[in-house]
Each structure stands twice: as C-alpha cells, then as structure tokens.
Amino acid sequence: MPQVTLVEAVNMALTRAMSEDAGVVVLGEDVGVDGGVFRATLGLLERFGPQRVIDTPLAEQLITGMAIGMAVEGLKPVAEIQFSGFAYICIDQVLNHAGRMRHRTQGRLSCPMVLRTPCGAGIHPPEHHSESPDAMFAHVPGIRVVYPSSPRRAYGLLLAAIRDPDPVVFLEPTRLYRLFKEEVDDDAKALTLDTCFTLREGSDITLVAWGAMVHDTLQAAQRLEQEGVFAEVIDVATLRPLDMDTILASVAKTGRCVIVTEAARSGSFAAEIAANLAEHGLLSLFAPIARVAAYDVVVPLSRLENVYLPDTERILAAVRKCLAFG
C-alpha cells in the first residue's frame, strides 16, 4: 500500500473515477497541460485526453456554469477553482442553479457535479488565496460540503462525492496537501458522506474539528494524554448535511466540548455546531462550549498567517479552561 500525500490522494481518486466511468470529466484553469496549480490533476490529460480534461479560461463563474450544464446533461463533471478566494463568484451558480436543480424540476433532473477548491491558510500566499469559506457554502440548501483532513479520507470522500447524484463542494486544505503522507489503498472504496469520523476515543472532553485543524487538534489530544486528560477527537468531514448525532453522543459521554475552526470566528461553522449543542445537548454539558477560531480580520499576508491561525497552544488553553469550569 503506497504512502501518499493528500494532493496525491486527490489525484488517485480522480484517476480511479475517470477510469471507471467515462462520464467523469475534469475542467478548470490549467488542470490539463499544467496539471493544476497544486498538480492535483497531473497526468490526467495524457491519460484521458482533451475531451475529458478541459483547460478553461480564467472565469470561475463560467467554469461552474459549464459544470452544471454538463451534469444536467448526464456527465459527472469535477470542476476545479484554483483557490477558494476565487470561489465566491461561483456561489451565484451553486445557490441558484446547482443546489436547486432537483427541486426546480421536481426530481426530473439532478446535478451530479463536484466543485473542488484548495482552501485555508498556512502556505503564505498573496491575498485571495487563504480563506476558508466553509460556512458560506454550508449555508446553501441542496448541496453537500465536504472538507477532508487526511490523504485516506480525501481519497474515499472524493470518490463518494463524484458518485453522489447531487452537487458537492469539496474543500481541500492546502496546508495539508504535502504536510504528511499516509497509506492509501487505491481500492475504489468510497467513504460514507454525511457522517463524522471519531479519530480518537476519550472520556474527558470532546474536540471537534475539520480540514487542516484536525491535524492541530490531534496534536493537542496527544499533549493532553501526557497530562492524564483523554480527549475524544471528531473529524466533521461533511459539514452539510451535518452529522450531529455523533457529536451529541460524544458530548453526552464527556460533558465538555471545544470546537476548532480556522475560519474567522463570527458566523463560522463552529457557531452552527455550538448552536446545535446548545439546543439538543445542553443538559449533557458540565462547562460552556468553547470555540477556537481565527480572528475577525482579513487573512494577513505571509508569515503573519501563523499568528492568525489557531494552533495547538490555543486549543490547549481552551481545553484547560473547559476542564477548570465547575
């Protein structure tokens, strides 16, 4: 079983899906000749040809509209937006057309497309390249929003997204693209969408995260174990629809919860999870729900990202405050 990075796992999943289904096509800026800005589509043009790997103009709304049209006509397009900071213009197409197609046509048409985009901070690029717009997409009815946190989950969840009959926004954490490797078996097995993954069992506190923040949260859990604190770590993975049952069951066991997101604090998806916990799990809590998030400012340039992003120390501080309560 090969050891691969997250971006290599994405490439593996795309190759597998295109090999199995001639209706799967890839489109986006520089996805063909250059293999994508992060090389996630490297080699696909040579293997599958220009009719299935399509270099488009630099026009994100056009890319999304093309994908919707292809999906309605029976193809399974996987469209790449180079950075999530360029994806905001796509929300018009995703909200008004992709997400409403099944409802609008009373089930006669579906929209089996995937909109992939690298997102998140931590690689020190210029502006427009470091946002994490997960909450914005999660607010759109009729779509799924998936945010993997490891090579193995990126492979399995992307296969599931491509095979899904409805539109999926697939957010890929750029900081994790090449941060570590993991064994990934190219076995064509999809992971289940719409469910959280419990990565670490614990009894003292529940830590909830997704995307790149799962990496930092697991590091915090390891540190806590050395102090005699056993944290349960949950990877949300699919933000919409949200699997609250797994989170509620964990909090019923531990009585405490810290939610970690790299998005700006106000209006973040962490607030949605906290609201659900307050509505449905209040009587299980021994301490207030804590959120660890980025600051309510524009993502700063270059090395200042390290100050902006939550890190292990901020997670540990939130945990200790929860544990000290009551």
- Mean pLDDT per block of 10 residues along the chain (326 residues) reads 95 98 98 96 98 97 97 98 92 95 93 96 78 94 97 98 98 96 97 98 98 98 97 98 98 98 95 97 97 91 83 97 90
Architecture of the domain spanning 197-324: 3-Layer(aba) Sandwich (3.40)
pLDDT of 153 reads 98
Q: Angle, nearest 10°, between helix axes 213-226 and 312-324?
A: 50
pLDDT of 126 reads 73
**CA end-to-end distance (rounded Å), the chain:** 48
pLDDT of 277 reads 98
Instruction: Enumerate the active-site residues.
Output: 129
pLDDT of 136 reads 95
If phi > 0 it is left, if psi is from -120 to 50 it is alpha, else beta; for residue 237 that is: left
Q: What is the DSSP string of 78-124?
A: EEE-S-GGG-GGGHHHIIIIITTHHHHTTTS-----EEEEEE-SSS-
Residues of the chain with CATH 3.40.50.970: 3-183
Q: Contact at 8 Å (CB) between 64 and 137?
A: no
Q: Which residue has the tokens 């409805």?
A: 166
Strand pairing report for 182-183 and 3-4 = antiparallel
Residues of the chain with CATH 3.40.50.920: 197-324
The tokens describing 305, both together, are: 């990202």
Q: Contact at 8 Å (CB) between 233 and 319?
A: no
Q: What is the dihedral sign for C-alpha 116, 119, 124, 127?
A: positive
- Radius of gyration for the alpha carbons in the chain, expressed in angstroms and rounded: 19
CA distance 21 to 100: 25
CA distance 75 to 67: 9
CATH of 3-183, one of 3.40.190.10, 3.40.50.1370, 3.30.565.10, 3.40.50.970: 3.40.50.970
Q: Of the candidates 232, 195, 233, 201, which has an alpha carbon nearest to the alpha carbon of residue 214?
A: 233
- How many other C-beta atoms can be found within 10 angstroms of the C-beta atom of residue 185? 12
